[in-house]
Each structure stands twice: as structure tokens, then as C-alpha cells.
Structure 1
Amino acid sequence: MDIGMIGLGKMGANMAQRLQRGGHRVVGYDPGEAARLGLEERGLETADSLAALVAALPAPRTLWLMVPAGAPVDATLEALRPLLQAGDVLVDGGNSNYRDSQRRAGQCREQGVHFLDCGTSGGVWGLGEGYSLMVGGDASAAERLRPAFEALAPAPDRGWGRVGPSGAGHFAKMVHNGIEYGMMQAYAEGFAIMQRKESLALDLPQVAEIWRHGSVVRSWLLDLTADALADNPALEGIAPYVPDSGEGRWTVAEAIDLDVSAPVITLALLERLRSREDDSFADKMLAALRDRFGGHGVRQG
């Protein structure tokens, strides 16, 4: 299968290389020359424009987008659509909002182009371990791309699937990331409690390693926790600032819209927001109120 990969950041380049290893011809495009050169150094073809990329692929074409969510996806599709023809398939493998994916699928449908939204999980480990792929969109188009999905997944028969119509893939990935927020927060809080119990002098790397085997809380995230603690037990040099990609926010908003109680995911998101407050006005207000009603005093900052 011939596949055009648009967006050659680390994940896009790794996916292109895994597809090539699976026997597919991949032609990559990125507006940055350095990114294109990086892919060429891995032995893959590149094109220096979207028009050249489309021309390099036989019809019907398959084009896979790995570009940042939001306006960059719309801009890329705006430039691509005049170059495509009926029967071509566009895959958005990034972290787009599922509502945007539904809108884009409708726009593509008008000109006979198939649009698949593919929630992709695996991060920097996907090149070696494979990617978890949640595909939304037309069933026949998804089936046509089966060889590509099988090459990207951990194994041909697991780790991927068409999960529903347009938007379903990115919706499933959104909820996946919300769950990830909660799991990460639970690990972080648990290890923080153990770290604070100085009288027991717990060896945190040892505890993490013990939990990895036989424990009901074992997981790949725990494996990564154990690795991080083994390399840096005190987490020195790491700022307590936790960004978010936006999908946790979308998950919480959907939970509210659907009247679904999701306190763990919601609080995990709020903790990430809190981590960015160097000078919390809310905490100052709490201290001031506590002093006013109870005379507890305040610390001078």
C-alpha cells in the first residue's frame, strides 16, 4: 500500500517508519525541511509540497495526517481537498476534537473523499511496541486500510479496530486520555504520600518495582513510573508544572453534557491546572478567611 504521511514530528516519523517496516511504501511531507531530511535519513521518501506528495501516490490515494489539532488540520485539509479525487482516503491520526472530525468528514463526503478519524495512542514507544488505533468513519474505507492498521498495531489481530461512525475514533481517544489523567494522578498521589512518610524511609523505586509484578495496580504507566524513579528517585530538576493536551477538558465537558458523574477525571484535570499556579490568589484568600474567622494567623510571603 502507498501512503502519504503529512506531519513528520517524532510520532509521524515513527509511524511512517513502522509502516515501511510492514512492507508499505510511505512518502512523507512536512513544511519543515529539517523534518523531511530526518525522514530521508531513515530511508524513506519525501515530497517538498502537498501537490508533490499527492502526485507521488497512485489513485485512489491514502493520506495520513499527523498535525496539531485545530486550525492546522483545517488549513491542511483546505490545501489538500482541491488536489484529491473521489475515492481517496484521508486519515486524521492526531488528537482532534471528535466534533471537528464529524464536520470534516461531512466536508470530504461532499466530494466523494473518505475521512477516517483515528485516535492514536502509543507515544514515543509506538515505533517498537506498536500503536493502539481507534478508527471512526466509513466501514468500507476502514477495511480498505486494514493492511496499514495491522502494520501500525502491536499485532495484526489486536490493538486496533473501527469503533463506530465518523467522530467515534477521536471520541474514544478523548475518553482514553481522560482515563489516563485519572490513573496518572492516582499514582502520583500514592507515591507522594509514601515520599512524605519520612519516618519509614520507603524506597520508592523498590516499591514501584514490587508493584509491577503480580499487583492489581500493575500497568504500563506503573512500568514508566518505576523507570522514572529508578533514574531519578527524588525527581530532582523537574518543575511541578503539568500541561494538558485539551482532551481531558473535552472529556469533562462531555461528561457534564451527558449527565455522567466523572469526579476522578475532573479532579485530575483540575490538579493539572493547579500545578501551573506559581502565586495562587485562591490559596491566599483561603488563608485570609481562616485568619478572619478563627484568628489562625497567616504566613508572610
Structure 2
Amino acid sequence: MEIGIIGLGKMGGNMAERLRKGGHKVVGFDFNKEATKKLTDAGSVGVDSLEALVKNLTPQRAIWIMVPAGDPVDETIAKLKPFMQKGDIFIDGGNSNYKDSQRRYKELKAEGFNFVDVGTSGGVWGLAEGYSMMVGGDEDVVEHLRPIFETLAPGKDKGWGRTGPAGAGHFVKMVHNGIEYGMMQAYAEGFSIMGHKTEMNLDLGQIAEIWRYGSVVRSWLLDLTADALQKNPNLEGLEAYVADSGEGRWTVFEAIDLNVSAPVITESLIRRIRSREDNNFTDRMLAIMRNQFGGHAVKKD
């Protein structure tokens, strides 16, 4: 099957390579000429414009968009439409807000195009391990794209599926990332507690390895944690600064809208935000209040 890919960064480029190895014709475009050349050198077709990308695909075209969420997705779709024809398929494989995906589906459907949203998980390991894909869209369109999903997934019948109508793929991926926030926070706090028990001289890398097998907390995330601790046991050279892609926030907002209690995910998001504050004002306020009501000592710079 033919597939066009826009955005040949690390994830998009790896997806293109996995599809090529799976026997699909891949046509790719990226503003980074080196990324396009790498795609061509690997045996796929790299082009220098969106128009060329469309012309190198046979109708019914399927174009997978891997660009940052928000305006870049809308801008890419708008630039592609003049070259596309009715029945062609737009696939958003990025981390878009599910409400944007619902809107894009309605707008494109009214113009005769198809739209599928794919929440994609797997990161830099997807090329070797396969990608987990949560797909939203019309059943017949998703079925048409089945060969693509089967190739990208860990197995033909594993790690992917249509989760519902347009928007459902990105909604499920949003919640997936919210859960990821909570799991990461729990691991981080647990290892921090052990690290502070200095009199036991615990080897955190060894403990992570022990937990990887047979433990109820074993997971792929723990596998990655164990590997990181083996390479850098004391986390030297790292700043306590944790970014977020936005999906954790959307999960918390959705929980509030639905009156669903989600304290673990919410607190893990707050901890990420707090990690970015230099000389945290909130903590300094707490210190000065304790000083005022109880005369407790205050540490000064």
C-alpha cells in the first residue's frame, strides 16, 4: 500500500522506515532536507514539496501527518487540500487535542475528504518494537488503512485498534498519557525514598533490575528506568526540570468536566509544573508563614 508521510523527525522517520521494510511505498516530505535525503537513501521517495508528495501517490491517497499539535496541523491540511481529491484520507498521528480532531473530521467530511486520528505511542523504540495505535474514524476508512496499521503495530492483531468515531483515537491517547504521568511520578517518588535511605547504601539500578522480573510493578517503563540507572546511577548532569506535551493537562481538564476524581494524574501534572520553578515562590511563602506563626527557622541564600 502507498502512504505519504509529512514530518520526518525521529518518530516520523522511524515509522517511514518500518513501513518501507514492511513492503509499502512511502513518500515523505520534511522541511529538513537532511531528513528527506535520509528517507531517499533508505529506499523510499523523498520529495521537496507538498504538491510533489501528493503527485507521487495514487488515489485514494492516504497522507500521515506528523507535525506539532495545533495550528501546524490545520496549516498542513490547508496547504494539502488544493492538490487532493475527494475520497483521499488525512491521518493525524500527532498528539492533537481530540476536540480538534472532531472538528477537522467534520470540516473535511463536508468537503468530501476522509480524516482519521491516530494516537500513537512507542516513541524512539517504535521502529524495532512496533507502535501502539489508538485509531478514531469511520469504520470503512480505518479498514482500508488496515495494512498500514498492521505493519506499524507490534503484531497484525496486537497493539492497535479502532477505538471509536473521529476523535476517539486522540481521546484515548490523551488518557494514556495521563496514566503515564502518574506511573512516572510513582516510580520517581519510590526511587527517591530509597535513594534518601543513605545508611542502607541501596543500589537503585540493582533494585530496578530485581523488580523487572516477577514483580507486580514490572513494566516497560521500569525497563527503561533500569537502563537509565545503569548508565547514570546518580543522575549526574541532569536538571530537575520536567516538560509536558499538554495531554496530561487535557486529561485533568476532561476529568473535571466529567466530574471524575483523578488526584494521582492531577498531582503528577502539578509536580511537573513545579519542577520548572526556580527558587520556588510557593515554598518560600510556606517557610515564611511557619516563621511567622511558630518562629520556625528560615533558611536564607
Tell me whether the two structures share a fold, i.e. TM-score over 0.5.
yes
Q: CA deviation at 1:260?
A: 0.3
CA distance in 1, matches of 2:163, 2:27: 27
Question: Who is 2:27 aligned against?
Answer: 27
Q: Secondary structure at the match of 2:58?
A: coil
Q: CA deviation at 1:82?
A: 1.7
Deviant stretches of 4+, over 4 Å = none
Q: Is the 8 A contact 1:85 1:111 kept in 2?
A: no
CA distance in 1, matches of 2:138, 2:6: 21
The one-letter code of the counterpart of 2:234 is A
% identical aligned pairs:
65
CA distance in 1, matches of 2:31, 2:128: 26
Question: Who is 1:48 aligned against?
Answer: 48
Q: Secondary structure at the match of 1:103?
A: helix
Mapping for residues 49-64 of structure 1, pairs under 5 Å: 49-64=49-64
Question: Who is 1:231 aligned against?
Answer: 231
Q: CA deviation at 1:83?
A: 1.4
Question: Who is 2:125 aligned against?
Answer: 125
Q: Secondary structure at the match of 1:244?
A: coil
Question: Who is 1:222 aligned against?
Answer: 222
CA distance in 1, matches of 2:32, 2:277: 34
* CA deviation string 1:7-43 (max 9, x = no partner): 1101000000101111100000112212211212322
TM-score w.r.t. length of structure 1: 0.99
CA distance in 1, matches of 2:37, 2:177: 32
Q: Secondary structure at the match of 1:119?
A: strand
Question: Who is 1:86 aligned against?
Answer: 86
Q: Is the 8 A contact 1:19 1:151 kept in 2?
A: yes
The one-letter code of the counterpart of 1:255 is A
Q: State yes or no: 1:164 paired with 2:164.
A: yes
CA distance in 2, matches of 1:287, 1:41: 59
Count of equivalent residues: 301
Mapping for residues 2-21 of structure 1, pairs under 5 Å: 2-21=2-21
Q: Is the 8 A contact 1:182 1:264 kept in 2?
A: yes
* CA deviation string 1:35-87 (max 9, x = no partner): 21121232221111001100110011010001110111011011011211111
CA distance in 2, matches of 1:237, 1:32: 30
CA distance in 2, matches of 1:72, 1:157: 32
Point out where structure 1 has 5 or more consecutive residues left out of the alignment: none
CA distance in 2, matches of 1:244, 1:71: 18
The one-letter code of the counterpart of 1:105 is Y
Q: State yes or no: 1:244 paired with 2:244.
A: yes
* CA deviation string 1:92-145 (max 9, x = no partner): 000000000001111110121110000000000000000000000111000000
Q: Secondary structure at the match of 1:116?
A: strand
The one-letter code of the counterpart of 1:158 is K
* CA deviation string 1:199-252 (max 9, x = no partner): 111111110000000000000000001000011110101111000000000000
Question: Who is 2:72 aligned against?
Answer: 72
CA distance in 2, matches of 1:200, 1:32: 51
The one-letter code of the counterpart of 1:249 is R
Q: CA deviation at 1:297?
A: 2.2
The one-letter code of the counterpart of 1:36 is T
